């Protein structure tokens, strides 16, 4: 069976990449085919190398502009035969041409219950706002900022005056479980994005869910 190939995009620590490597790489017909970083000093790169996964660095400053960088990135992912692009702590926007090229084949992990607190520093935004519940969202990437169809979400309650480091810890623990779960479902071919004719309503359906199996 041909494996389902992931291209993982990172900018920093790479703890989500590690979770994907540990729970999915080389199992159940899934493999991490390549890892691309937006910065040469991203610690995530060492995690990829340790797992024997090919890496590439695509810093915007090495290219004439973001469009050119994203084109080079798309070529790298295509050359590695990627079926799904996973943004795992990738802290830069991807241009529309990239998103259209990989339409419906890019997902992102975001540390809030979208549509609350999109963009950068989502955990700080939630704490500053004083919400009692935050969480994690896995969503398909469209041309907006954290606006694509939602695959999975999980809530986390925030007791009063919990410090940011502890909230981050809880968020990461949920991400490290939810992201591999969502990837497994997508690789299994049971996930569909449904859009109503008006385009005003969209929903991600997961086979089995309607029958109450999930």
Q: Which is nearer to ligand GAR, 165 or 196 (CB)?
A: 165
176 is catalytic: no
3-state DSSP call for residue 82? coil
What distances in angstroms separate CA 192 from CA 139, 179, 187, 189, 209, one per listed residue?
A: 12, 17, 11, 8, 12
From the number of C-beta atoms within 10 Å of its C-beta (0-12, 13-18, 19+), residue 207 rates as: middle
Write out the residues near ligand GAR by the rule CB under 6 A: 12-16, 44, 88-89, 109-111, 122, 171-172, 175
Q: Which is nearer to ligand GAR, 88 or 99 (CB)?
A: 88
- CB neighbour burial string for 3-15, b if at least 16 within 10 angstroms, e if fewer: bbbbbbbbbbebb
Q: How many helices (H) and strands (E) does the chain have?
A: 6, 9
**Least distance from C-beta 183 to ligand GAR, angstroms?**
14
Sheet of 4-10, strand order: 55-57, 30-37, 4-10, 84-87, 106-110, 133-140, 150-157
Q: Give me the residue whose beta carbon is nearest to ligand GAR.
A: 89
Angle between helices 164-187 and 122-129 (to 10 degrees): 130
**Least distance from C-beta 91 to ligand GAR, angstroms?**
6
Write down the catalytic residue from 25, 63, 80, 110: 110
Total number of residues shown for the chain: 214
**Least distance from C-beta 57 to ligand GAR, angstroms?**
15
Q: Which is nearer to ligand GAR, 102 or 213 (CB)?
A: 102
Q: Which is nearer to ligand GAR, 73 or 122 (CB)?
A: 122
Q: Which is nearer to ligand GAR, 53 or 122 (CB)?
A: 122
Active centre residues (catalytic): 110
């Amino acid at each position: 069976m041909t494996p389902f190939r992931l291209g993982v995009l990172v900018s920093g620590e790479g703890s989500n990449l590690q979770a994907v490597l540990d729970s999915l790489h080389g199992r159940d017909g899934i493999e991490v085919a390549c890892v691309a970083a937006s910065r040469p000093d991203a610690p995530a790169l060492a995690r990829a190398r340790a797992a024997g996964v090919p890496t590439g660095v695509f810093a915007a400053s090495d290219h004439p502009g973001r469009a050119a960088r994203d084109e080079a990135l798309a070529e790298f992912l295509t050359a590695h035969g990627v079926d799904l692009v996973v943004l795992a702590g990738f802290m830069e926007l991807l241009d529309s041409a990239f998103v259209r090229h990989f339409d419906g084949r890019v997902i992102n992990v975001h540390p809030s219950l979208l549509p609350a607190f999109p963009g950068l520093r989502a955990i700080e935004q939630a704490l500053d706002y004083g919400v009692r519940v935050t969480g994690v969202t896995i969503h398909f990437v469209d041309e907006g900022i954290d606006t694509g169809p939602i695959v999975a979400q999980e809530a986390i309650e925030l007791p009063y005056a919990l410090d940011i480091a502890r909230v981050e810890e809880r968020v990461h623990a949920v991400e490290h479980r939810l992201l591999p779960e969502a990837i497994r479902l997508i690789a299994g071919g049971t996930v569909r994005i449904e859009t109503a004719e008006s385009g005003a309503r969209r929903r991600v359906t997961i086979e089995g869910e309607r029958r109450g199996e999930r």
